[in-house]
Structure 1
Amino acid sequence: MDRSLTLPELVKALRGAEVFRNKCRIRPMAETFAALASACGIPNGDDAAAIPDGDGYLLLAAEGITADLVRQNPYLAGRCAVLANVNDIYAMGGRPLAMVDVIGTPDEASARELCRGMRDNAARYGVPVVGGHLLRTSRDSSVALAILGRAKACITSFDARPGDLLVLVTREHGQWLADMGFWNATLPEDDASLVPHLELLPRCAEAGLALAGKDVSMAGIAGTAIMLAEASHVGCRLDLDRIAPPAGVPLIPWLLAFQSYGFLLAVSPGRLEAVRALFAVPGLATAAIGAFCRERRIVLRRDAEEAVLWDLAAQPFAGVAR
């Protein structure tokens, strides 16, 4: 545990992070679509939209990749587009079916690299890219993917309850990409376990072990916990003493990092051991790192000291709630 910063200094650093500001920029869109979402009965703000269908749900999601990454490394950007979308479906307790892409590029070379990245990672996850759209742009390249999945039972962002434990599931082995704030736990040597580890999420949903959760997104553990609490209209406490970054990774970057395999789950205390048992496979780590509460504040706790990271009653974060 990094003791070089006080809790107020940790709060200041997290609140000032660009990934936090980016999540706050969702608010105007959330407000714009709020009435439509209510009319349709499908709330916005989840990892994927859950559309009732027969005895389960169709899951629909989309992800775009930052322009800087597309510009610097179009192949990696294509791979990341697949990763982000596949995680969104599994985070909901579903299984992905197929993807389509939208590519904007001024040259054929960038388009080919984007497509090659998508093709290679789609093959790793066993999810086909079945179509898409190509735009000729005058300057920058861009890429976005949409994905369709299906779930028998959902893990949502809207069903965390006071008293539930906040449980983090991660892959222990990985590579820290400090310049990208990215914990890459999907290395080539992990191909055999990649999908089996993700399959534990729908198994968790179908067994009723967790009703709520999210994948650890670009706002990291800290920002994702805020979004999960906000969507569920609750608060939560993050116990920093229970959060162990990988060797060589400082605490603040770890709290803000995107994880290629990282999920936060809301688990009732009576089901914690069953969740631990489900994810007790080689390569995975499961830890209860906090708990949800009625008071709509996200609090950091270290030893006996506490500091408010975000007061949702006073200020929205992404502005998304049921």
Structure 2
Amino acid sequence: MSSQQEPARTLSALAGRLRELPGLRGKADIQGPAAAFPHQPFPDLGPAAALGDDAALLPPAASPLLLACEGLHPALVADDPWFAGWCGVLVNLSDIAAMGGRPIAVVNSLWCRKASHGERILAGLRRASEVFGVPVVGGHTNLHSPYDALSVAVLGTVAGPVLSARAARPGDHCHLLIDPAGAFRGTSLCWDAATAAEPGRLRRQQALLPALAADASVHAAKDISMGGLVGTAAMVCEASGCGLHLDLEAIHPPEGVELEAWLSCFPSFGFLLAARPEQQSRLAERVAACGGLLLARVGAFTAERRLVLRQGVEEEEEIWSGEAPLTGFGALS
């Protein structure tokens, strides 16, 4: 072998190994998101804002930012991948809305064993992005994972006032705001009032919470999460340092739905609101103007740090006491 052939063979071998580098071949997984999402979510910002760069370039914000992140339940990701993708966007939008904010952009982290499974998740993400008008601007994709998992984050902005669960005070009324026009998704406790709804209706709902904050119809709110209505109520109590007497007779499930299921479910649009008694009429007017939503006064916040379920005049049961932490994020001293 000549001295000239040896470097060429060495280079060829090196190139062959580099072509097979797992980190390089794995980049092909990104073809899924590249096919799923529009490449220029913010055309006015030019080519630097196109998808595929190291970070997403976003429009400047004139007000404080909100950042929310959710991991999707493994069973949902495994059994209903399209809906998991949809929910990844929806639940974060509700978190942004709960603080009186409006969403700007979505990112996600997707891990799947099969590309076909990932495609269904991405399809759900894209549909929610289109329906709610919030672009997916980046993320991470691995289609050679030993497990299936999805996490989604949303960046938003809040012009104020900010709605914080910590702002609930003794004497406030607790209101349930929820979309009852739906059904349970399969055998899960997910109350789906969104996937078949008209997009304009869903966008009006998402815009309602910032409007309620802006005109002082409410001053505290929390999105009803996987903990259900009762679990969310306990989180509001912990964060605010208040108690809450929850009146079960004021909570009316949709026809055919048992009360326990309604108290336990994760609704696609559901919030607990805190408002002073004098705010109630303005709140009711705002909600009625949005259309299709149920607003019910379901209790009152108290100075005693405990969540109590009441049924009738005399029956009551304590669900949570402030003596023991729930999440660990209690009232600020």
Q: Place the TM-score, normalised by the shorter chain, in its bin.
A: 0.7 to 0.9
Residues 65-214 of structure 1: pairs in structure 2 closer than 5 A: 65-153=72-160, 154-177=162-185, 179-214=187-222
Please tell me the root mean square deviation across aligned C-alpha atoms, in Å: 1.6
Residues 213-292 of structure 1: pairs in structure 2 closer than 5 A: 213-281=221-289, 282-292=291-301
Report how far residue 137 of structure 1 moved.
4.5
Is the contact made by 2:61 and 2:157 (CA closer than 8 Å) also made in structure 1? no
Q: Give % identity.
A: 38
Q: Which residue of 2 aligns with 1:39?
A: none
1:315 aligns with 2:321: no
Report how far residue 61 of structure 1 moved.
0.6
Report how far residue 286 of structure 1 moved.
0.7
Query: Whose radius of gyration is greater, 1 or 2?
Result: 2
2: CA distance, partners of 1:86 / 1:161: 25
**3-state DSSP class of the match of 1:314?**
coil
1: CA distance, partners of 2:145 / 2:213: 45
Aligned AA (1:220): G
Query: Once the two structures are superposed, what CA deviation does each residue of 1:257-315 show, in whole Å capped at 9, x if it has no partner?
Result: 10101111000001011101110133111110001000001111111124233343322
Report how far residue 178 of structure 1 moved.
6.2
Number of residue equivalences? 270
**3-state DSSP class of the match of 2:187?**
helix
**3-state DSSP class of the match of 2:166?**
coil
The partner residue of 1:59 within 46, 62, 66 is: 66
From the superposition, tell whether residues 54 and 101 of structure 1 become closer, same or farther in structure 2 (CA, over 3 Å). closer
**Structure 1 gap ranges (5+):** 1-52
Aligned AA (1:251): L
**3-state DSSP class of the match of 2:168?**
coil
**3-state DSSP class of the match of 1:180?**
coil
**3-state DSSP class of the match of 1:161?**
coil
Aligned AA (1:89): I
Report how far residue 243 of structure 1 moved.
0.2
Is the contact made by 1:299 and 1:306 (CA closer than 8 Å) also made in structure 2? no
Tell me the TM-score normalised to structure 1 length: 0.80
Which stretches of structure 1, 4 residues or more, deviate above 4 A after TM superposition? none
**Structure 2 gap ranges (5+):** 1-59
Structure ranking higher on relative contact order (CA contacts 8 Å, 6+ apart): 1
Aligned AA (1:142): A
**3-state DSSP class of the match of 2:299?**
strand
Which structure's residues are more often strand, by fraction? 1
2: CA distance, partners of 1:189 / 1:206: 26
1: CA distance, partners of 2:186 / 2:324: 30
2: CA distance, partners of 1:198 / 1:269: 24
2: CA distance, partners of 1:238 / 1:83: 27
Query: Once the two structures are superposed, what CA deviation does each residue of 1:133-162 show, in whole Å capped at 9, x if it has no partner?
Result: 113454221111111000111111111000
Is the contact made by 2:184 and 2:191 (CA closer than 8 Å) also made in structure 1? yes
1: CA distance, partners of 2:318 / 2:226: 17
Aligned AA (1:73): D
